[in-house]
Amino acid sequence: MQNTVPARRVEERMKHFQARASELGLAATHQRRIIYRVIAKSAEHPSPELIYERVKREIPTISLATVYKNIKTFAAMGLVGEVGALPGSIRVDANLDRHHHLVCVNCKAVVDFCDSRLDRVRAARANPENFRILRYQVEALGLCPACQVAPARNKVRTQRRKHNG
C-alpha cells in the first residue's frame, strides 16, 4: 500500500489551495501551507494528531489546536474532506475526486476505493425530513489485510504458551 501521493499531484493540490485561499480572501500563511502540504502528500487519510506530528517537524512551535483549527478551515473551504466512520476517528482526505472508503474497524486504516457502481447509489425512498442530499459516499467497514492476519498470529502465540506452559 502506497502512503504518499505522487509529487505532481501534490503540486496540483498546492496550486488549488493557493487559488482557493486567494478566491476566499484567506491568507495562505506559512503554517497553513505546511499543514495543507502534509495533508496533500498523504494517501493514508491522516488523523489530526498524525498531521500535527508531521507538521511539528517543520514548525516545532505549532500547537495541536492550530492544526485542528486549520483542518476545519480547509474543510469549510472545500479543500479537504473528513472521513469519520468510526467513533473518535476523524481522518482527513485531500482527494476530492469521486471515491469511497474502506475502513478497518480494528486499526482504523482508511483506504480509497473506486467503484462506478457505488457512484450510482441513491436512496430507495423519498427523504422524509426534506434533507437536501448533496452526494452519496460509501464507507465499507471491515478488516485490513494486516488485521485479518493479526488475530491468527495472536491465537498461535496463545496456543504455544498453553502448550509450553
pTM over cut 0.85: no
Residue 6 corresponds to which cell in the numbers above? 505522487
Give the confidence band of 160 by pLDDT, cuts at 50, 70, 90: very low
Closest residue by Cα to residue 111 from 128, 129, 91, 126: 91
Residue 147 CA neighbour count, 13 Å, CB half: 12
What are the sequence ranges of the domains in the chain? 1-96, 97-165
CATH architecture label of 97-165? 2-Layer Sandwich (3.30)
Q: State yes or no: pLDDT of 66 exceeds 80.
A: yes
Instruction: Please give the pLDDT value at position 34.
Output: 98
Q: How many helices (H) and strands (E) does the chain have?
A: 6, 5
Q: State yes or no: pLDDT of 49 exceeds 90.
A: yes
Give the confidence band of 115 by pLDDT, cuts at 50, 70, 90: confident
Pick the CATH number of 1-96 from 2.30.40.10, 1.10.760.10, 1.10.10.10, 3.20.20.150: 1.10.10.10
Residue 127 and residue 133: Cα distance in Å, rounded? 9
Instruction: Please give the pLDDT value at position 90.
Output: 83
Residue 2 corresponds to which cell in the numbers above? 502506497
Residue 112 β-bridge partners: 101
